[in-house]
Amino acid sequence: MHKLRASVDAVMIGAETARRDNPSLLARTNPPPARQPKRVVLTRSFDLPTSGRLFDQLDLSPLIIIGEESNARSKALAAAGAQVGTVVDTMDGRGPELALQALGSVGVRSVLIEGGGVLSAGAIMAGLVDRLEWFRAPILLGAEGRPSVAALALARLSDAPAFRRVAVRELGPDLWEGYERV
C-alpha cells in the first residue's frame, strides 16, 4: 500500500474516512520516497478536526480539502494549514470529476482513491476509475464493517461496472488483487 501511495501524485479519501480512521496518508517506505503524495479529503461541509494526523506533517505533504461551500469551518481548516477549495456536489454526481479537474489544474496527474465507500462509488459510476487495487485480509467484519464501495444505484445487473483481474499476489496472510476496467 505504501509503495502505491509513493507512486501517485495524490491520495484521496472522503471526510468520513478522515474522521473515523484518522490517517496520515503518507507513504512510509524504506527508503523514504523522493516526494510524498499530496493528501486530499473530499467533504460536504468541511466538518473535519484540525487535530488529526492529516495536520501533523504538513511540512512533508500538503493537505488539500475540497468541499461544497466555503464557510467558517473551511476558514478554520485553512488557518490550520490546509489548502481549501470548493466544488459543487463533492460526493455525488459530478463531484469526484470536478475535484479531479481541480487537482489537475495544480499538476496532479495520478490519484489513488484510498477510502470512503461513497467517494469510491461516485468515482466508479462517473467512469473515473481505471484500475482497482483490492486488498483482502482473512477476517470477517460483517455488518459492523464499512463498505469499500457504497450503493451504486444500479437498475440492472448489466449496468454494473466491469473489471478484469490482471494480477494477484499474496502478502503474508492477505491477498492483493489488481483489476482493470473492461
pLDDT of residue 91: 64
Burial (CB count within 10 angstroms: exposed 0-12, middle 13-18, buried 19+), residue 111: buried
Q: What is the pLDDT of residues 67-111, one digit of tens each?
A: 988 899 999 999 999 999 988 776 666 788 889 999 999 999 999
Q: What phi and psi, each to the nearest 5 degrees, are found at residue 21?
A: -95, -20
Quote the CA–CA distance of 56 and 54 in Å, as a whole number. Answer: 6
> Peptide bond preceding 31: is omega within 30 degrees of 0, i.e. cis?
yes
Quote the CA–CA distance of 17 and 146 in Å, as a whole number. Answer: 10
| 5 neighbors 112 (Cβ within 8 angstroms) | yes
| 63 neighbors 54 (Cβ within 8 angstroms) | yes
pTM of the model: 0.92
**CATH number for the domain running over 2-129:** 3.40.430.10
Quote the CA–CA distance of 64 and 156 in Å, as a whole number. Answer: 36
Provide the residue-wise pLDDT of the chain in tens; the chain has 182 residues.
899 999 999 999 999 999 999 999 999 999 999 999 999 999 988 999 998 899 998 999 999 999 988 899 999 999 999 999 988 776 666 788 889 999 999 999 999 999 889 899 999 998 999 999 999 999 999 999 888 999 998 999 999 999 999 999 999 999 999 999 99
